Structure 1
Amino acid sequence: MLRTAVASALLLLGGWAAAGWLTYDFQVWTDEGARRLQVALRPVEAPPVSVQGPAGSSHLAALLAEVGGATIVNFVYTRCVTVCLSLGGGFQQLQAALQADRAAGSASRVGLLSISFDNARDDPAALQAYAQRLRADPALWRFVRVPDTAQQQHLLRTLGVVVTPDGRGDFEHNAALLVFDARARMVRIFDLAEQQLALDFARHLSARSP
Structure 2
Amino acid sequence: MRTVIACVLILLLGLAAFSQVSAGFRVVTSEAARRLAVREHPPLMPDVGLVDARFTRDSLRADLVADGRIALVDFIYTRCESVCRVLGNEFQQLQQAILEQGLQERLRLISISFDPTHDNPDALARYASQMQAAPAVWRIATVADVRELRPLLEAFGVVVVPDGTGGFVHNAAIHTLRADGRLTRIDDLGAVGSALRAAAARSGERAQ
Q: TM-score range by the shorter chain?
A: over 0.9
Report how many aligned residue pairs link the two structures. 206
Letter in 1 for 2:164: G
Deviations along 1:168-190, one digit per CA (max 9) or x if unpaired, are 10011110000001111111101
TM-score by length of 2: 0.95
Range that drifts further, 121-130 or 29-38: 29-38
Letter in 1 for 2:159: V
TM-score by length of 1: 0.94
Matches of 1:107 and 1:49 in 2, distance apart?
Answer: 24
- Please give the residue correspondences for 1:103-114 in structure 2 after superposition, counting only pairs within 5 Å: 107-114=104-111
Q: Percent identity?
A: 42
Distance 1:93 1:85, change over 3 A: same
Matches of 1:67 and 1:112 in 2, distance apart?
Answer: 12
Please, which runs of 5 or more residues in structure 1 have no aligned partner? none
Which residue of the partner structure matches residue 36 of structure 2? 37
Which residue of the partner structure matches residue 89 of structure 1? 89
Question: In angstroms, what is the RMSD of aligned CA positions?
Answer: 1.2
Matches of 1:78 and 1:54 in 2, distance apart?
Answer: 12
Q: CA deviation at 1:119?
A: 1.1
Counterpart pick for 2:191 among 180, 191, 194: 194
Which residue of the partner structure matches residue 139 of structure 1? 136
Deviations along 1:179-208, one digit per CA (max 9) or x if unpaired, are 001111111101112111111111112112
Matches of 2:173 and 2:42 in 1, distance apart?
Answer: 16
Deviations along 1:149-186, one digit per CA (max 9) or x if unpaired, are 11111111122111111121001111000000111111
Letter in 1 for 2:29: T
Please, which runs of 5 or more residues in structure 2 have no aligned partner? none
Which residue of the partner structure matches residue 79 of structure 1? 79
Which residue of the partner structure matches residue 158 of structure 2? 161
Deviations along 1:37-81, one digit per CA (max 9) or x if unpaired, are 111121121212100012210110122224323100000000001
Alignment partner of 1:122 is 2:119: yes
Which residue of the partner structure matches residue 68 of structure 1? 68
Range that drifts further, 195-204 or 65-74: 65-74
Range that drifts further, 151-160 or 176-185: 151-160
Matches of 2:176 and 2:101 in 1, distance apart?
Answer: 19
- Please give the residue correspondences for 1:4-19 in structure 2 after superposition, counting only pairs within 5 Å: 4-19=3-18
Q: CA deviation at 1:107?
A: 4.6
